[in-house]
Amino acid sequence: MEKILVTTDMSSNSKSAVRLAIKQAVARGAELDILYVYYLIKPFNWTPLAFDVYSAEYKKKTFKELSSFFKRILHEAGDPSVSYKLVLVSDINTTEGIISYALENNCSFICIATRGAGNIKKLFGTHTSKLIGKSPVPVLAVPSNYRLRPLHKILYASDITDYERELKQVVAFARPIGAMIRLLHIRQSYEFTLDPDIVSPSLKKRLNYDIDILTTEREVSNTLLDDIGTVLKKVKPDILVLFTRQHRSLTDKLISSSNAKNSSFESKIPLLTFPKVAD
């Protein structure tokens, strides 16, 4: 059975990720693990026994709080039938704790909330960026003020350097929920154009899944962020997919853009990131 991991600090900002994780677990028939990472420092003048007693009490209290936090959200969602597990992990590095748990438990993806809608420089400037930058497990970043809705339409923004291999992973995410996939290539004037009449049938045959192709020209006066934002407003997808970790990858271009801080791009939908496969 597929397993989804959602990480929370039990704040109001993290509720959106938990809500979406519940929705996806129900839609996919998946198990859901709710993870809280903590770390306790032993005071210098405490005995090991005193610290062990304190640690046990802390874990008991925190587990109870996590249970109440999750059950409130589950009740607000209509108490759907979902198989779930509450997990406390002690790790001095929160990011490493999340990744280690996801790998050890074979989680399909990690769901985490961002601070809210905002330009991508702010999004990638949060704790979420560390997870996206290091995790070999896909990360689903959810704006804290995101309004829950089904993920029917996926927009996969590609630099087309490895789109067939990447699409296999996008399809694996989309197939259980029957989501439509649209591949977006924002091309420079010197780059070749994907012909939808040729590429779409070929991809359907190879992947056994319908893939729409959308190609648009780069607007030289805009950042790449703005160009993606323009497409988002037109096609209104439910989720944006990017791949990271390849030299001059799409995400690298987004983050390193010299005028990205002036971009009007707004992240109002979940962002699913996959790690790029090394060449």
Q: According to the CATH classification, is domain 153-275 in 1.20.1250.20?
A: no
Q: Map residue 133 onto helix, strand or coil.
A: helix
Per residue in 83-98, pLDDT tens?
Answer: 999 999 999 999 999 9
Q: Spell out the per-residue pLDDT of the chain, length 279, in tens.
A: 899 999 999 999 999 999 999 999 999 999 999 999 999 999 999 999 999 999 999 999 999 999 999 999 999 999 999 999 999 999 999 999 999 999 999 999 999 998 754 555 555 546 788 898 889 999 999 998 999 999 999 999 998 889 999 999 999 999 999 999 999 998 887 777 888 899 999 999 999 999 999 999 888 777 777 888 889 999 999 999 998 863 444 455 554 444 444 455 567 899 999 988 766
Distance of alpha carbon 182 from alpha carbon 212, whole angstroms: 5
Do 153-275 and 3-142 have the same topology in CATH?
A: yes
Per residue in 33-63, pLDDT tens?
Answer: 999 999 999 999 999 999 999 999 999 999 9
- Written out in words, the top-level CATH class of the domain with range 3-142 is alpha beta
Return all residues near 69 (Cβ < 8 A) that are at least 6 apart. Answer: 8, 10
Domain boundaries, the chain: 3-142, 153-275
